[in-house]
Structure 1
Amino acid sequence: MATKQSGPIGRPRAFDTEAALERAMLFFWEHGYEGASLAGLTKAMGISTTSMYAAFGNKEELFRKALERYDEGPSAYLTRALEEPTALGVATTVLTGTVRTTTRPAQPHGCLGVQGALVTGASSSSVRDLLATWRNDGCNRLRERFQQAVDEGDLPPTTDAGLLGRYVSTLAFGIAVQAASGIGRDELQSMADAALEAWPPF
């Protein structure tokens, strides 16, 4: 004899949250935080606004999750670069990874972390600050890796690891801006190669 259920059975989500988050990341990447309306986001994600709030929280929380996905996916070349055995290898992998990631035909050009919320209204200042912290974190990781290179004798003892980290970061961010402006991969790669011809630069 069948027994009566003791409580309600939760309804499973009718959509793939990972796929929806991927589409949200691409939408934020293309339109920026303030340019991504809720209507546009939910249409791109293929879900209702109610489902978005239930699965991801509000728009800012969704953006934070999208940035984490970007960090672990398209922007993961930084982590790989830090594992290179030489400082020059680190810089080369960062700049080459930036060129490739910001110019892929099947995704938005540019960098979500650079142009996602560079300038915002007061209501979005927390997202602007989030991305500033994200960019500075990348620069600090490079500084630490270059300091390691100095300590190991891979870079001259007079090298300013902080300045070198900021230099490589600035080159990478500049590449991203140029890519978003329509500059092609070959030209950007040539610029990156030219920047690395004299290493270290100072």
Structure 2
Amino acid sequence: MELFWLKGYTATSLTELCGAMGINAPSLYAAFGSKEALYQSALAFYAERATPLIWGRLDEIPTARAAIADMLMASAAALPGGAKPAGCMVTLSNVGQEGEGRLGALVQKARSDGLALVAARIARAIAEGELPASVDAESLARFYTCVQQGMSIQARDGASRAELEAIARTAMAAWPGVTSPEEARSAPLAPLVR
């Protein structure tokens, strides 16, 4: 898992995988059938560990704002790496662009699952009256998911926990504006100065 996470699917060789697992190629094929199947297993293994850590408290925290802040702060704590590669294996994967369409679809689904969790939490906040009915749950979820994914890229590039926490705080400072009535959010943007 960590080799795929660090290097990507294509750049990780069978020799490296066998060395990391302490087995030979025939044993790898006997256990997993193929490098593709091993990647799929590694992705599932990663999701089992990362999902509760990052997304696991979205439904437990009483308000959507606090739940999303918690998700971003949990990301800030987990993403810098240390004993493991920095960033998120799912966010950083480009396996679909490496010619592995089926694996790319699995990664895309994993990304979509995170987005769906955030969108569901926002939809719940709308249904419970925490947020106005005019809030576009999908757009708001995409915004905060994008922030979380961007934090992953920043972590891979060396951002510290404190730097990632600052990103999370900045994103949450935007909450009042991005959850305001529709007319405020749909106001035209000022033209670019050239």
Normalized against structure 1, the TM-score is what?
0.81
Please identify the structure whose Cα radius of gyration is greater.
1
1:105 maps to 2:75? no
Find the partner of 1:73 among 17, 31, 49: 49
- Give per-residue Cα distances to partners, 1:137-188, cap 9 Å, x unaligned: 2112211121011000121221111111111110000000011111221111
Find the partner of 2:130 among 154, 158, 165: 154
Compared CA separation, residues 82 and 56, structure 1 to 2 (3 A): farther
CA distance in 2, matches of 1:84, 1:52: 42
1:57 maps to 2:26? no
Aligned length: 177
Aligned Cα root-mean-square deviation (Å): 1.6
Counterpart in the other structure of 1:121: 98
Displacement of 1:34 in angstroms is: 1.1
CA distance in 2, matches of 1:118, 1:62: 13
Compared CA separation, residues 200 and 51, structure 1 to 2 (3 A): farther
Displacement of 1:200 in angstroms is: 4.2
Conserved? CA contact 2:5–2:85, under 8 Å: yes
Counterpart in the other structure of 2:144: 168
5+ long unaligned stretches in structure 2: 179-194
CA distance in 2, matches of 1:93, 1:70: 20
Find the partner of 1:142 among 118, 124, 144: 118
Counterpart in the other structure of 1:82: 59
Compared CA separation, residues 118 and 62, structure 1 to 2 (3 A): closer
CA distance in 1, matches of 2:111, 2:46: 13
Counterpart in the other structure of 1:16: none
Q: Residue 105 of structure 1 aligns to a residue in which SS?
A: coil
CA distance in 2, matches of 1:201, 1:64: 40
Conserved? CA contact 2:18–2:25, under 8 Å: yes
Q: Which amino acid aligns with 1:112?
A: M
Q: Residue 47 of structure 1 aligns to a residue in which SS?
A: coil
Find the partner of 2:21 among 41, 45, 65: 45
Q: Residue 39 of structure 1 aligns to a residue in which SS?
A: helix
Displacement of 1:78 in angstroms is: 0.8
5+ long unaligned stretches in structure 1: 1-24
- Give per-residue Cα distances to partners, 1:123-143, cap 9 Å, x unaligned: x12222221121112112211
Q: Which amino acid aligns with 1:52?
A: L
Q: Residue 108 of structure 1 aligns to a residue in which SS?
A: coil
